[in-house]
């Protein structure tokens, strides 16, 4: 026994040596990656200067960023990105479309958009329980990520308030409950469309009460404001800023209809800056075109739209309506500046339709189209004014488009920013343009771990040469996809390579809580 005690330390040492020797002979366990993007010029979405790096992807996330581009790593696939820029996928702050009908969303993907924000202008899916809609969309596996806002107009209709100018207390409580439930389901906030019915009937008391609900849930209000005309836009902005006492607020597709020049833009920007100095969080989005696009109802007076009986209006106030529409169209740069985008007259201007029907343009609008008979593009904006908005630090990019809308912004807006405003006009640096299309909207909306190239963030990524990026859509042929994005990744999956779509749709429904 005493001999064993003497030998025990030696035996233990031998066992340890043997164990070490055995471990040295075993191959080391190697960490592998799904994708290595090698020697890319990284623009990270924050506005910082580009830098060279290797970026490695594991699953749906960025696992490693190494500025030593001579290093090597085990990866299932390698893309040599020498000479190409790697950026976050673009975030469309204001988009339209139905992921249950067109989950492919090729119009967005082709121009580098990997996340879209739906439920805009006050209109969202007409369901009290939006969790059901979100599950249905998840099952469809959309090609891009989808973030949803609860629409104020839809809340009015679902709650029974509908077209009431002043909701009853029961109706108001129903709207508040629906909104709270939508936020808890994962909505990022509420959108308003105050130029449309029934949102047009709401007042500041109603909007402020709903803003308090949004604020209590950490959300954002996005607003198609009450009136974007030059004479009324400041009043409309102040109405939105009053809601900013309760939650962050955001101006959708900022513009000044009929406004002219840089100075007018600066007056609007100063109004927003002053609000920020008083503690209001306010941002805006912008699409890079001088024509807007929406339903033709925007041309008609309130008394000729729902819930009023349009046929009765034609019988009893036809002459009054004709005078109103003639003056309205002339004010909006004439019938040649209204391009019909849907219905039997799509692709024609109001002037061409009038000539074809051999009647005054206001009668063609009244009798052959009506307030709900078409959508249209309206050439009503000033380029110098709009470009001044684009350069502002707090203004991001959107399409305000959809797969079916007949406006080039639906297929070309983000490509146009690079092709026209970075490459040709040099209005923005590439780094600043990318920030406006990635990091800024992701931060504003509250998209967690997206919009920036950073370890741990989701791998929504683009690889491209800026000189190759082209907007191919035109007003005459608006459904032409953009080109030039060599690789597009959504949640770590290469969903587009060259001009060929990938076999897999990899988008997800994003939720405020995620």
Alpha-carbon distances, residue 136 vs 141, 158, 508 (angstroms): 9, 20, 11
Q: What is the pLDDT of residue 95?
A: 98
Per-residue pLDDT tens over the stretch 151-202: 999 999 999 999 999 999 999 999 999 999 999 999 999 999 999 999 999 9
Residue 390's pLDDT band, with cuts at 50, 70 and 90, is very high
On the question of pLDDT at 39 being above 80, the answer is: yes
Specify which residues 282 forms β-bridges with: 249
The domain ranges of the chain are 89-291+380-449, 293-378
- What is the pLDDT confidence band of residue 31, given thresholds at 50, 70 and 90? low
Per-residue CA distances from 237 to 164, 270, 272, 393, 403 (Å) = 23, 12, 8, 18, 30
Tens-digit pLDDT profile for residues 344-371 = 998 899 999 999 999 999 999 999 999 9
Confidence class for position 500, pLDDT limits 50, 70, 90 = confident
Please report where in the chains the tokens 């046929």 appear, as a residue: 311
Task: Tell me, yes or no, if the pTM score tops 0.75.
Answer: yes
Architecture of domain 89-291+380-449: Alpha-Beta Barrel (3.20)
pLDDT band at 513 (very low <50, low <70, confident <90, very high): confident
With 0-12 / 13-18 / 19 or more C-beta atoms within 10 angstroms meaning exposed / middle / buried, residue 390 is buried
Rounded to the nearest 10 degrees, the angle between the axes of helix 383-391 and helix 261-277 is 30
Per-residue model confidence as pLDDT tens digits over 277-311:
999 999 999 999 998 888 899 999 999 999 999 99
Percent of the chain at pLDDT exceeding 70: 93
What is the band of 418 on the pLDDT scale with cuts at 50, 70, 90?
A: very high
pLDDT, residue 26, reads 36
pLDDT of residue 499: 75
Close Cβ partners of 170 (under 8 Å, ≥ 6 residues apart): none
Summarised one tens digit per residue, pLDDT across range 309-336 is 999 999 999 999 999 999 999 988 899 9
Tens of pLDDT, residues 72-121:
999 999 999 999 999 999 999 999 999 999 999 999 999 999 999 999 99
**CA–CA distance, 142 with 403 (Å, rounded to integer):** 13
Question: Residue 24: which pLDDT band, with cuts at 50, 70 and 90?
Answer: very low
Give CA–CA dist 336/330, Å, rounded. Answer: 10
Coil/strand/helix, residue 489: strand
| The predicted structure's pLDDT at residue 514 | 53
* Of 60 and 18, more confident: 60
Residue-level pLDDT at 171: 97
Q: What would the mean pLDDT of 498-503 be, rounded to a whole number?
A: 73
Q: What is the secondary structure of 286-320 as a DSSP string?
A: E-S-SEEEEEGGGGS-GGGSTTS-HHHHHHHSHHH
Residue 490: C-alpha distances to residues 65, 90, 233 (Å): 18, 11, 38
């Amino acid at each position: 026994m005493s001999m064993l005690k003497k030998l025990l330390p030696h035996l233990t040492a031998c066992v340890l040596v043997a164990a070490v020797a055995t471990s040295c002979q075993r191959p080391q366990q190697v960490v592998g990656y799904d994708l290595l993007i090698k020697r890319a010029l990284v623009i990270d979405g924050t506005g910082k200067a580009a830098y060279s790096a290797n970026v490695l992807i594991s699953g749906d996330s960025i696992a490693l960023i190494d500025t030593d581009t001579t290093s090597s790593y085990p990866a299932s696939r390698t893309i040599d990105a020498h000479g190409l820029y790697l950026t976050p996928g673009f975030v469309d702050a204001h988009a339209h479309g139905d992921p249950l009908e067109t989950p492919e969303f090729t119009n967005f993907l082709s121009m580098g958009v990997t996340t879209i924000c739906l439920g805009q202008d006050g209109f969202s899916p007409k369901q009290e329980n939006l969790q059901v809609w979100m599950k249905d969309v998840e099952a469809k596996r959309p090609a891009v990520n989808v973030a949803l806002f609860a629409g104020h107009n839809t809340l009015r209709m679902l709650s029974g308030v509908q077209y009431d100018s002043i909701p009853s207390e029961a109706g108001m409580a129903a709207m508040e409950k629906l909104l709270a439930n939508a936020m808890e389901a994962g909505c990022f906030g509420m959108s308003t469309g105050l130029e449309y019915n029934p949102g047009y009937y709401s007042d500041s008391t109603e909007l402020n009460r709903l803003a308090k609900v949004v604020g209590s849930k950490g959300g954002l209000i996005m607003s198609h404001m009450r009136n974007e005309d030059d004479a009324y836009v400041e009043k409309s902005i102040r109405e939105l800023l009053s809601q900013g006492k309760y939650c962050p607020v955001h101006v959708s597709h900022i513009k000044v209809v009929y406004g002219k020049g840089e100075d007018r833009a600066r007056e609007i920007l100063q109004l927003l800056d002053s609000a920020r100095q008083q503690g209001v969080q306010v941002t805006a989005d912008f699409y890079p075109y001088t024509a807007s696009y929406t339903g033709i109802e925007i041309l008609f007076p309130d008394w000729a739209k729902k819930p009023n009986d349009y046929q009765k209006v034609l019988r009893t106030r036809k002459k009054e309506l004709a005078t109103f529409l003639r003056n309205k169209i002339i004010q909006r740069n004439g019938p040649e500046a209204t391009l019909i985008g849907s219905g039997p007259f799509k692709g024609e201007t109001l002037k061409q339709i009038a000539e074809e029907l051999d009647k005054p343009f206001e009668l063609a609008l009244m009798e052959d189209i009506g307030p709900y008979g078409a959508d249209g593009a309206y050439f009503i904006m000033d380029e110098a004014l709009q470009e001044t908005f684009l350069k502002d630090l707090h203004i991001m990019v959107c399409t305000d488009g959809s797969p079916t809308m007949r406006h080039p912004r639906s297929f070309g807006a983000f490509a146009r920013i690079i092709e026209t405003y970075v490459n040709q006009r040099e209005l923005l640096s590439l780094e600043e343009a990318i920030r406006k299309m990635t990091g800024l909207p992701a931060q504003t909306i509250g998209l967690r771990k997206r919009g920036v190239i950073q370890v741990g963030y989701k791998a929504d990524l683009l690889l491209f040469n800026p000189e190759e990026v082209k907007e191919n859509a035109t007003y005459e042929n608006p459904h032409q996809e953009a080109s030039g994005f060599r690789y597009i990744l959504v949640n770590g999956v290469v969903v587009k390579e060259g001009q060929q779509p990938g076999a897999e749709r990899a988008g997800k429904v994003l939720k405020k809580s995620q």
